[in-house]
Chains A and B, each alone.
Chain A
Amino acid sequence: MGIGAIFTSSVSGLRVSQAAVEVVSNNIANADSVGYTRRQLVQTQQLVGDRTAGVRSAAVNRMLDILVQRQLRQETGGAGYTSVASKYQTALDQIFGPPGGASALDTIFNKFTESLQTLTSDPASLTNRSQVLSSASAIASALNSASSDVQTLRGQAESAIASTVGRVNDLLSQIRFANSRIVANNPTVQAGLQDDRDAAIDELSKYLDIRVTEGPDGGVTIATSAGATLFNGSQAMKLVFDEHASLGPQALYSTDPAKRGVGAIMLTDGSGASIDMIANQSIRSGELAGLIEMRDTTLVQAQTQLDALAANLSSALSDRQAPTTAVTSGAQTGFDIDLSTPPASGNAITFFYKDAGGVTRTAKVVRVEDPSQLPLPNDGSADQVVGMSFSGAPASIVGALNTAFGPALSFSSAGSTLRVLDNGASTKMIGADARITNTALTGSGAEIPLFYDGGNKSVFTGSYDGGSKTLGFAARIALNPALAADPSRLVVYETSPTATPAGDSTRPQLLYDRLVSATRPFATTTGVGGTAAPYNGSVATFVQRVVEQRGAAAEAATQLDKGQNVALSSVQSRYAENASVNIDSEMAQLTQLQNAYAANARVFTAAKDMFDLLMRM
């Protein structure tokens, strides 16, 4: 070993120190740069043969924990989902107004029932009557605006999906660009490109749940956790979303493109084949999953609840019970239902019986005059729901009824009377309830069509003809204009032979009782009271249940989002421990490197002195 070797190793030391200072200076300069991970220079001894000949810089490493990074992306996806859910659920909750506030749906409903109570005390009072009418239109318009708010939120979700899909496509092409350069370039410039690519993937994980696989050449492939490939290492797939402008209650998602009223996310691969990511449930987390769930499930359910509320509010007041008398025939027991006023399209007859196992069953037959709507889906308001045409006398449906509900129940008819009997042995008839909607303000009992359908300008009967009229009814419900034109009909329900006296409280009392004390079954599709059996309650308690459920859902979503954010920030801080630049440690390292540089320079000077001495000899 000679003096020359000392020169070489001290110079290599100087060079490595310089390179290290360069890394430190980059770290410090990029301390606040987005997506930048801290770099560290790795130095190793320079071997010449079996001898150490100075030092060399081996690599510039990104300080990154791959495991934490993967976890971070998963949590980011989760946080994306929960934040969307929380945002929309909170907005939905706000639609129902502040607790006890004048604009709260339940307050408006309570005001309506209160006005009916007041009317009973003085039915002839014009003030009381107009109070009932104005509070009835207030509840109708509250439902209208709640419905339109829900649909606005759905529209927001739709356009948010559109812009998110656009962003996802941008990110995928960024990733493709960075990836191709990483694979092609030498390792020295990789760190920066990797940072760039990782930042794009990090952001992508916010929108979708992704699985990233890194290949041996440093390239990555990206797929959703359900397995749909988004980036295959060389080619970025394209997501296409056909945004629908202005959504209404009828605009619903369907796997059938012809029936779809909202956009679908189509994933097109290189071969041009495309799949519907919503139908395939390819997106399970991230903002997109949250937006899709809001648009197609949560907000649709909220609309269903509003529609059920509007429909039941209207029917509770307008539907009268057809006269029903108990009959027996031999061992069979049952009921005679007088259908001399035929049920309107959408009206239903419900039969209650105990089956062979002693379990109470409900069978419901609904009048449907539009064959394209048959068979009717069961909305969960009864165990069995069958739709059929009632155009003729009861005789015309006896056959169909026997087919639908036999042999547990048997049906026969005489004139306008429909008879239903149990089988006389194992089944036991409990009751029959035929509801017929009053369409006129007087002449058919104390029930009154207080509300009507502003869409087709007729009394709401729950008809399915030409599509369910219940769907979106909350958007169309309005005060019956015939009643607005003649408020006396709030009290007068008979005009012949003598008109009902103006102070008769029969009708106001009936209306109040129908809303507050009479119970009705609410379809399970409303999600109130579970999915197994219909919720049985009054219209008033249904209002409370709906508001409560929306509030609870909002609270749960907010809590979930908070929890998710806690999890996310703990992963974030673990990630940052490694990856982020700490100015203090960089400065300490800088000082260290300065010393190393000075020391190497000192060695170099010493070697030079030694060399000079040697030369003077």
Chain B
Amino acid sequence: MINPAYSPTSSAARSSALMQDLRATMMDLQRQLSTGQKAATYGGLGPDRFTALNLQARLSQMTGYSNVIQSSSLRLTLMDKSMSGLNDIVKNAQSAATSATYEPNAAGRTIAQVSADDQLKMMIDLMNTDSAGQYLFSGRATDVKPVAGYDEMINGAAGKAGLKQMIAERQAADLGTGGLGRLTPPSLSGTTVTLERDAANPGPFGFTISSATTSSASISLSGPTGPQQTTTVGFTAQPADGDSVSLSLTLPDGSTKTITLTASSDTPAATGSFAIGATTAATAANFQSALQSELASASKTSLTAASSLTASKAFFAGSPSSPPMRVPSPAAAATGLVAGTDADTVIWYRGDDDTTAYPNARTTAVAKVGDALSVGVGARANEQAVQQSFAMLAALSLTDVAPSDPDGKTRYAELANRVRQGLSFPDGMQSITGMSAELASANAAIKTAKDRMTASKNVLTNSLGDISTADPQETTAALLALQTRLQATYATTAALSRLSLVNYLS
């Protein structure tokens, strides 16, 4: 048996093969028309196939970038909302915290303090903002809610100290056992009054004496010298009315409290002055008692306010890898700070705090939105500006300034003053607006990338379309031409088959 397909002599076989070819082409055109694709395989795409492959890969990359852009934009928009919310809070708190408005309510709290409570809660919410389950202010730990709840933060949790306790501890430590901010009560010996720090190493607590000055030639000053910053005020002669002695004391928050005592011939001498006695020894004794009462008052006002702020700052400086520094028990006799642990202290910020590998919080989340364009979109709730805002508002809220305490008003003034200054973010410190600006510029960079991406995506899609998409008009025209040819071939074949000499012979 010989396979007829291999017979070279059958003309019918050859013409039918030709017609099959035409039909196959027609089927392909029909496929192009219905799928819109020029070719069903890369083989059929012709020499442009590598370009097509490349364009497809680029387009897919662009889609990837678009996904990144989309999620980053959403993230940045939400972050921007949080930051502007934070900014408003800070601005309000700053203007409310003035000493002029000491109008405590029934519970002994000022309006600024009451609103600071709510503001703190709002700030916690703002910092805990998430975008599709991704916490935005957690650095790299986007699955962790960065900020602890208000109650836990302030009042602590089971076995863990909250901010309230830390402030109380710090105040106790700063006041010391004698209540004079870790200074020994001024001692009198003849005509000399001596003031020095507690014999025991008082550590960073209480007052430190930074300098002593006088306007009088009759008063000799020495110190502060030695480990106890021993300072002496000697009355070599009777000071004149109006002569003054100033002692500069540095507070734990770095601020300075200057106690100035003026010699006065009035009896009894007014607050802030000492009576010139009958002898220099009597004047010295007067000076001693005036100094003691000034110190006691400064301890209860400036020192306590500074202490609150210091404790608050320490609390908000805490993070999982460096828990806050605490005052060990007994607080009044503490000589140094020890690091708290997660077990005994509430750590308000739970997010990523690796500042060694990621010193800049922006780099904790990097949106790669172009081959060479990476935008830092990360943020941490414990960034300096946020930390500072929390610390200031919390200190304001938690310091007791009740009018029942005679020093309440002064303490509030000292506190409000410090909070106002703190919230204006001193030079060199990151500010809320600075942080917002960084995020806004990241957003702008992403927006630009998006526009560019849209443009180049269009170009790529068009080029790809030119290569791989079948133009319907062209295909239809080709299909029609082919149909005509096929019809002509059929007609001719039919006519030829009828055209035979046999038909014409009789």
**Interface size, B (range):** 35 or more
B500 interfacial contact with A, CB 8 Å:
yes
Among A245-253, A333-341, A397-405, A570-578, the one that faces the other chain is A570-578
List residues of chain A with CB within 8 A of the CB of B106. Answer: none
Q: Mark B44-55, 1 if CB is under 8 A from A, else 0.
A: 111101101110
Interface presence of A584 (CB below 8 A): yes
Residues A35 and B134 in contact, CB atoms below 8 Å apart: no
Q: Are A583 and B71 interface neighbours, CB within 8 A? A: no
Task: Confirm or deny: B495 has a beta carbon within 8 angstroms of a beta carbon on chain A.
Answer: no
B42 adjacent to A99 (CB under 8 Å): yes
Q: Check B10–A516 contact: CB distance below 8 A.
A: no
Is the pair A114, B67 in contact by a Cβ cutoff of 8 Å?
yes
In angstroms, Cα B497 to Cα A583, docked, is: 11
Q: Report the minimum CB–CB distance from B139 to chain A (whole Å).
A: 7
B501, A587: Cβ atoms closer than 8 Å: yes
Question: Cα distance A292–B67 when bound, in Å?
Answer: 48
Task: Please report which residues of chain A, range 106-133, place their CB below 8 angstroms from some CB of chain B when the two chains form the complex.
Answer: 106-107, 110-111, 113-114, 116-118, 120-125
Closest to B131 in A: A122
Quick check: A591 and B505 within 8 Å, CB to CB? yes
Task: Give the docked Cα–Cα distance between A584 and B501 (Å).
Answer: 5
Interface size class of A (residues with CB under 8 A): 35 or more
Residues of B within 8 A of A206 (CB): 6
Q: Is A498 an interface residue (CB 8 A)?
A: yes
* Contact A93-B43, Cβ < 8 Å, known A125-B134, A544-B54: yes
A541 surroundings in chain B (CB, below 8 A): 57
Q: Is B368 an interface residue (CB 8 A)?
A: yes
B365 touches A100 (CB 8 A): no
- Is B141 a contact partner of A509 (Cβ separation < 8 A)? no
Could you say which residues of chain A place their CB within 8 Å of the CB of B321?
498
A540 vs B144: C-alpha distance in the bound complex, in angstroms? Answer: 35
Given A124-B142, A125-B134; A509-B41 close (CB under 8 Å): no
Q: Any chain B CB within 8 A of the CB of A94?
A: yes
Q: What are the residues of chain A within 8 A of B140 when measuring CB–CB?
A: 500-505
Within 8 A of B (CB), among A34-64: 34-37
Q: Binary interface profile of A, 507-533, with partner B (CB < 8 Å = 1, else 0)?
A: 001000000100000000000000000
Asked if B189 is at the interface of the complex by the 8 Å CB criterion, the answer is no
With contact pairs A114-B61, A203-B6, A503-B364 given, residues A554 and B41 touching in the complex (Cβ less than 8 Å): yes
Grouping DSSP codes into helix (H, G, I), strand (E, B) and loop, the A interface class, with mixed when no group exceeds half, is helix
Whether A584 contacts B500 by the Cβ 8 Å rule is yes
- Report which of B8, B42, B134, B142 forms a contact with A547, defined as CB distance below 8 A: B42
B501 and A34 within 8 A (CB): no
Chain B's nearest CB lies how many Å from the CB of A336? 26
B56 contacts A110, C-beta separation under 8 Å:
yes
Cβ–Cβ contact B68 & A121, under 8 A: yes
Pick the contact of B60 from A37, A97, A113, A552 — CB < 8 Å? A113
| A558/B43 in contact, CB under 8 A | yes
| A99-B41, A575-B9 given; A125·B133 CB < 8 A | yes
Contact B53 A548, beta carbon cutoff 8 Å: yes
Residues of A close to B468: CB separation below 8 A: 99-100
Within 8 A of A (CB), among B18-48: 37-47
Chain B residue with Cβ nearest A72:
B8
- A residues 77-122 near B (Cβ < 8 Å) are 89-90, 93-94, 96-100, 104, 106-107, 110-111, 113-114, 116-118, 120-122
Is there a chain A Cβ closer than 8 Å to B14's Cβ? yes
Asked if B138 lies at the interface with its beta carbon under 8 angstroms from chain A, I say: yes
- B7 CB to closest chain A CB, in angstroms? 5
Is B11 located at the chain interface by the 8 A CB criterion? yes
Binary A-proximity of B342-382 (CB < 8 A = 1, otherwise 0): 00000000011010000000001111100000000000000
In the complex, the answer to whether B4 meets A34 with C-beta atoms within 8 Å is yes
Q: Is the CB of B9 within 8 A of A503?
A: no
> What residue in chain A is nearest B352 (Cβ atoms)?
A501
Q: Is B72 an interface residue (CB 8 A)?
A: yes
A125 in contact with B9 given A110-B60, A550-B42, A554-B41 (CB within 8 Å): no
Contact B500 A503 (CB under 8 A): no
Specify which chain A residues have a CB less than 8 angstroms from the CB of B367 in the assembled complex. Answer: 120-121
B53 near A36 (CB under 8 angstroms)?
A: no
A422 located at the interface, meaning its Cβ lies under 8 Å from any Cβ of chain B in the complex:
no
Q: Given A120-B68, A551-B42, is A503 in contact with B142 using a C-beta cutoff of 8 Å?
A: yes
B207 CB contacts on chain A under 8 angstroms: none
B372 nearest CB across to chain A (Å)? 11
Contact, CB under 8 Å: A203 / B41:
no
Contacts of B368 in A (CB 8 A): 117, 120, 509
* A99/B37 in contact, CB under 8 A: yes
How far, in whole Å, are A555 and B41 apart by their CA atoms in the complex? 10
B2 and A203 contacting across the interface, CB-CB below 8 Å = yes
In the complex, how many angstroms separate the beta carbon of A464 from the nearest chain B beta carbon? 32
A489 to B39, CA, bound (A): 41
Q: Contact flags (1/0) for A489-502 with B, using CB distance below 8 Å?
A: 00000000010111
Closest chain B residue, CB of each to CB of A497: B321
Least Cβ–Cβ distance between B464 and chain A, in angstroms: 8
Please pick, from B14, B45, B364, B502, the residue contacting A99 in the complex, using a CB distance under 8 A.
B45
Residues of B within 8 A of A110 (CB): 56-57, 60-61
Q: Which residue of B lies closest to A575 (CB)?
A: B8
Q: When the two chains form their complex, are residues B42 and A34 in contact, meaning their CB atoms are under 8 A apart?
A: no
> Do B8 and A552 touch across chains, with their CB atoms under 8 A apart?
no
- In the complex the two chains form, what is the Cα distance from A111 to B464 in whole Å? 18
**Taking CB as reference atom, which chain A residue is nearest B8?**
A572
Q: How far is the CB of A542 from chain B (nearest CB, A)?
A: 11
Question: Which listed residue (A121, A504, A588) contacts B501, Cβ 8 A?
Answer: A588
- How long is the Cα–Cα vector from A120 to B215 in the complex, in angstroms? 68
A117–B61 touching, CB < 8 Å: yes
**Residues of chain B lying within 8 A (CB to CB) of residue A575:** 8-9
Which residues of B sit under 8 angstroms from A111, Cβ to Cβ?
60
Contact (Cβ within 8 A) A114 B8: no
Whether, in the assembled complex, B473 has its beta carbon less than 8 Å from a beta carbon of chain A, the answer is: no
B63: contacting residue among A114, A199, A203, A580, CB under 8 A: A114
CB distance from B504 to the nearest CB of A (A): 9
Tell me if B2 and A579 are in contact (CB < 8 A).
no
Closest residue of chain B to A107, judged by CB? B56
Specify which chain B residues have a CB less than 8 angstroms from the CB of A106 in the assembled complex.
53, 56-57
Complex Cα spacing A521 to B41, Å: 28
Q: Which residue of A lies closest to B58 (CB)?
A: A110
Task: Output the nearest chain B residue to A499 by Cβ-Cβ distance.
Answer: B141
Residue of B nearest to A562 (CB): B21
Which residue in chain A gives the minimum CB-CB distance to B46? A555
- Residues on B with beta carbons closer than 8 Å to the beta carbon of A114: 60-61, 63-64, 67
Residues of B within 8 A of A190 (CB): none
Chain A residues closer than 8 Å to B7, beta-carbon distance: 34-35, 199, 202
Given A99-B41, A114-B64, A552-B43, output 11 extra A-B contacts at Cβ < 8 Å. A34-B4, A98-B39, A100-B468, A123-B142, A505-B365, A541-B57, A544-B53, A551-B49, A576-B8, A579-B8, A580-B11
9 contacts between A and B (CB under 8 A): A121-B68, A121-B367, A124-B134, A503-B140, A503-B352, A503-B364, A509-B366, A541-B57, A551-B41
Q: Which B positions have Cβ atoms within 8 angstroms of A?
A: 2-4, 6-12, 14, 17, 37-47, 49-50, 52-54, 56-57, 60-61, 63-65, 67-68, 71-72, 132-135, 138-144, 321, 351-352, 354, 364-368, 464, 468, 500-502, 505
A residues with CB within 8 A of B: 32, 34-37, 72, 76, 89-90, 93-94, 96-100, 104, 106-107, 110-111, 113-114, 116-118, 120-125, 196, 199-200, 202-203, 206, 498, 500-505, 509, 516, 540-541, 544-545, 547-548, 550-555, 558, 569, 572-573, 575-576, 579-580, 583-584, 587-588, 591
Q: Ordered nearest first, which 3 A-B pairs have the shortest CB separation?
A: A503-B142, A117-B64, A554-B43
